[in-house]
Structure 1
Amino acid sequence: MVMPELRGWQAARKRLARLERSSRPRLGRVARSAQPRPTGAVRSARPWVARLTQATGHRPGRPRTWQYTAGAATAGLALAAGVVTAAGPWDSTGQRTAERDRAAALEHAGGADHGRDSDMSGGVAASAPRPAPSAAPVLIGLGGTGGTVEPAAGAPALAGVLDPLLENPALGTRRSAVVVDVTTGRQLYGKDGGDGLTPASTTKIATAVAALSALGPDHRFTTRAALEPDTGELVLVGGGDPTLTAREDARGAASLRTLADATATALAARGLHRVTLSYDTTLYAGSGLHPIGVNENLARVSALTADEARTDGSDHGPAPRADDPAADAARAFGRFLADHGVRTTAPGPSKATGRSQTLATVSSPPLSDVVERMLTNSDNDIAEALARQTAAAGGERPDFAGGARAVAARLERLGLPLAGTAFHDGSGLDRTDRLTANLLTALLRTAADPARPGLRPVLTGLPVAGFTGTLADRYAQDGAAGIVRAKTGTLTGVNTLAGTAVDRDGRLLAFAFLTEGTTDPQAAQSALDHTATALAACGCG
């Protein structure tokens, strides 16, 4: 039996789908006729949204799915003009996908919150969101981003909006904030933007830019099975793929089961039905234990791991982890070989020689997808893997320290402002990390540069307010759902938010808000959300 509430949602979704189809000609007309400052498009969208409201039968009370969709749809109409279609792996219609996903799974929330006493909290949702949607509003006004950063004429008006909000006592004892017009590069607002504060998970924006810059968006990480011809030893060689899975439903990830299937076939062709099984993790160096110690927010970092060494069946968020991720993955590989009649010894560590023969390989999704997943879910395991991969690509030792040096070096090569910054990991779990609001907004603007399309997943991977990842259950009662996209950061006493917002005049703004000394994480989070919402609603330029 379908509950009346669910039937209402299903009916609303059908109406929305019909309305979406019928709105496509309107979107085309708006795209052709809108002016550079598309406030007229906003006005023309209002009757359309009103009809959407009437069609879905809204009643006062709890926010309905149509409210999220209408907000994003309004932005889509307003921003149709000036949208830049950039070549790359992102989906230019992904915003609609996000809206439909939201309608189908209202209680869905993703990502991890690293606050509370142990620097971790939050539950594990039933399933992770799909790779981050790539909404057209992300790409608005990305042409002509050259020029120097200088205060805009509208800065005093914006200061009048943001200053009182950033003085909220819930935001702790130290605050830093910067807002930049992505198109012109002009700084619209600045408050101690050069101060280095603890960034928490907004560090992942820097890690993403560095990894994409070093490796390219199409790079894939390969896990292989190699046979030593002299000894008959079968070595499972880790390629540092943080998405490798041993589960039945790989959902596009590289599968150990698939690797075992192909390996067993290759062994049978050689008449081998029993092998000594080993595993090779030498791609990475140093200890895999993060300086914070054993923590459910992060497995031991290893070049070979399956399902992020999770032992509870989850696929994102805090979870108990296997003590030895590589051995755990190798044992799973051995079980899959056994399904094909291949007998193996208990696996142990080894190193594939130059004489080894590769029997089979599996590769990760492209780095663009991996980066989007990392940012959407605030995935610490992916972040630390990408820092090490960046180190390996840059000739640094692939450990925590080398990864931090490699990320900083990459950002320096991009000409980004590193004064006041200090990197110690790729995830932001290390409380000694320091980033500035100046750097975070510069990272976002660099990712929007039309000359650097390979960095675009940094923008498309940002959680969408009210829809995906760590923002799925935020912005539920204001007008910023679908318009603000931001990376969250939470540690005990630290709350940060950095991302993009489309303001009332259709401009794409990059912002970064960092706070320290917070005592109530929920109050601080709400204060930051309110500030980002006010920024989107302002049109102070």
Structure 2
Amino acid sequence: MSTAARRALVLAATAPVAGAMLAGPSFAADKTAAAATVGSPDAAGTLSDADRAMAAKLGERVNNPSLTNDGSSVSGVVLDSASDEVIWGHNASTALMPASNAKLATATAALDEMGPEHRFTTKVVYSNGTLTLVGGGDRTLSSDELGEMARTAVDGLKAAGVTNVKVRIDDSLFPEPTLAEGWRTDYYDDQVAPVRALSVDGKLSADTALDAGKVFATKLADRGVTVDGEVTRGTAGVGDVPVAQKVSPTVREMVRTMLKTSNNAMAETLLRMTAIEAGQPATFEGGTAAVRQVLGERYGIPLDNVVLHDGSGLSRATRIPAATIAAILDNATEPRNQYTLGPILEGLPVAGEAGSTLGPEYARFDDPNSKCAVNKVRAKTGTLTGAIALSGVTQGKDGRWKVFSFVENNSTAENSEITDAMDGLAATVNGCWA
């Protein structure tokens, strides 16, 4: 089987298969037809009739007044996934605020640097009458899991005749939190929390580590151990005795969740864990340096005009052209990258998928022009004040897989009008809005 055919089947294999919402005509449509039509558009490298028609429609629709008056503040590109041929482009190399489309870069680096099956460990250690809860970068840690760790710790304490302890937290895996370049102070605690190595229940607060320590202390008390004083912050010693631990879901699962729900806190935590794995400081600067190294040096993705300041895309100083975002996605469709980067395709929200950022609760793909693309488009959203993005994959009218990226900045229209226009562009790529 040719490389192009294998790539088409990789894309087909990542299609949603479960749930009534995704039943019927699906993103994967016809695997056999997709595999049969792969290859370059033709020997001369010219576009198919379907692609020419699609490109013409995009050329008209990118000038939608809801996006911009003259199209100058939109960066867009559509690629043929099998051949990598550019089907359509509009200011494709113009660097704009990508909003949460930056999470695609973070996901690529995290998966490549740590591996899809890597897990993080939260520990409890004991020394001299003190239990220390040690953060390991797990943003999925829950109150129930802290309760299980408390139960294990209490069993050991009681066996040793210990009934009174002090509790402290150790979140020293990451340095003291700071704002990223381009972050607004009002992002706390609405969009993201100060980035710490310990948290509980995914909550956003000024001190997620202290919150986790308090929950842990309560769980200990519930099991009959007296906690002396308030929860404090400290650093576990090398000689402290391990008494309990919790292992996180895999990086694969975290990336899926992070992309599906556009979880900012998880993106920033993954950025720091990636930095540590790459031998960089666990900071915004260390993390973005690791991302650039993975994208540029390992995958050859062009980074001209790319400026990164965080892992979530909240930074208003970050700039990424649509051409680079599309290259990141196209890289994930390569058969040789399926094991490592496949979770990116799996984590992309599906048009109309409840619980994702393309779900009906966000009024996406629900207008007359784009609703035909429900279940047929898989894409990462991005939303900041003055920036809307949508980048993903879909099977075109000719049965071939397309990679697209659209980034808009500074439209004065209502967000709902902008997202409707963006969804319409994706439906145009799919071909259902002819």
Q: 1:242 to 1:265 in 2, by over 3 A?
A: same
Quick one: distance in 2 between partners of 1:170 and 1:201? 20
Partner of 2:164: 274
Q: Deviations over 1:502-521 (max 9, x none)?
A: 11222111100011111221
| 1:227, distance to aligned residue in structure 2 (A) | 1.2
RMSD over aligned Cα, in angstroms?
Answer: 2.9
Q: Counterparts of 1:50-199 in structure 2 under 5 Å?
A: 83-84=9-10, 95-100=16-21, 136=28, 152-154=46-48, 156-172=52-68, 173-199=72-98
Partner of 1:356: 240
Q: Counterparts of 1:163-312 in structure 2 under 5 Å?
A: 163-172=59-68, 173-228=72-127, 231-246=128-143, 248=144, 255-290=145-180, 291-293=183-185, 294-309=188-203
SS at match of 2:92: coil
Off by >4 Å, runs of 4+ in structure 1: 100-103, 134-146
| 1:401, distance to aligned residue in structure 2 (A) | 1.9
2:384 corresponds to 1:487: no
SS at match of 1:428: coil
Q: 1:408 to 1:304 in 2, by over 3 A?
A: same
Partner of 2:261: 377
Quick one: distance in 2 between partners of 1:340 and 1:524? 53
2:305 corresponds to 1:420: yes
Amino acid at match of 1:99: A
SS at match of 1:220: coil
| 1:501, distance to aligned residue in structure 2 (A) | 1.1
Contact 2:121 2:135 in 1 (8 A): yes
| 1:537, distance to aligned residue in structure 2 (A) | 1.0
Amino acid at match of 2:103: K
Quick one: distance in 2 between partners of 1:84 and 1:242? 30
Structure 2: gaps spanning 5 or more residues: none
Quick one: distance in 2 between partners of 1:141 and 1:385? 38
2:407 corresponds to 1:514: yes
SS at match of 1:307: coil
Partner of 1:435: 320
Partner of 1:22: none
2:390 corresponds to 1:390: no
Quick one: distance in 2 between partners of 1:100 and 1:144? 28
Quick one: distance in 1 between partners of 2:291 and 2:39? 24
Amino acid at match of 1:496: A
Amino acid at match of 2:47: A
Quick one: distance in 2 between partners of 1:94 and 1:163? 28
Partner of 2:359: 472
| 1:428, distance to aligned residue in structure 2 (A) | 0.6
Q: 1:475 to 1:350 in 2, by over 3 A?
A: same
Contact 2:11 2:333 in 1 (8 A): no
* Identity %, equivalent residues: 35
Q: Deviations over 1:32-57 (max 9, x none)?
A: xxxx99xxxxxxxxxxxxxxxxxxxx
Q: 1:137 to 1:419 in 2, by over 3 A?
A: farther
Quick one: distance in 2 between partners of 1:266 and 1:274? 13
Contact 2:349 2:357 in 1 (8 A): yes
Quick one: distance in 2 between partners of 1:212 and 1:137? 28
SS at match of 1:170: coil
SS at match of 2:336: coil
Contact 2:136 2:197 in 1 (8 A): yes
Quick one: distance in 2 between partners of 1:135 and 1:157? 21
Quick one: distance in 2 between partners of 1:142 and 1:418? 34
| 1:85, distance to aligned residue in structure 2 (A) | 8.9
Partner of 2:206: 323
| 1:100, distance to aligned residue in structure 2 (A) | 4.9
| 1:98, distance to aligned residue in structure 2 (A) | 3.4
2:394 corresponds to 1:536: no
Quick one: distance in 2 between partners of 1:433 and 1:199? 7
Partner of 1:525: 419
Q: Deviations over 1:118-174 (max 9, x none)?
A: xxxxxxxxxxxxxxxx9756986599999xxx9742464332110111011211350
Quick one: distance in 2 between partners of 1:266 and 1:142? 62
SS at match of 1:171: coil
| 1:404, distance to aligned residue in structure 2 (A) | 1.7
Amino acid at match of 1:447: A
Quick one: distance in 2 between partners of 1:137 and 1:347? 55
Contact 2:116 2:252 in 1 (8 A): yes
More strand by percentage = 2
TM-score, scaled to structure 2:
0.86
Contact 1:505 1:539 in 2 (8 A): no
Quick one: distance in 2 between partners of 1:513 and 1:487? 10
Quick one: distance in 1 between partners of 2:404 and 2:302? 15
Amino acid at match of 1:470: T
TM-score, scaled to structure 1:
0.70
Amino acid at match of 1:192: N
| 1:263, distance to aligned residue in structure 2 (A) | 1.6
Structure 1: gaps spanning 5 or more residues: 1-35, 38-80, 87-91, 104-133, 249-254, 310-320
Amino acid at match of 2:350: V
Q: 1:261 to 1:145 in 2, by over 3 A?
A: farther
Q: 1:142 to 1:220 in 2, by over 3 A?
A: farther
Q: 1:332 to 1:376 in 2, by over 3 A?
A: same
Contact 2:352 2:375 in 1 (8 A): yes
Q: 1:510 to 1:393 in 2, by over 3 A?
A: same
Q: 1:532 to 1:82 in 2, by over 3 A?
A: closer
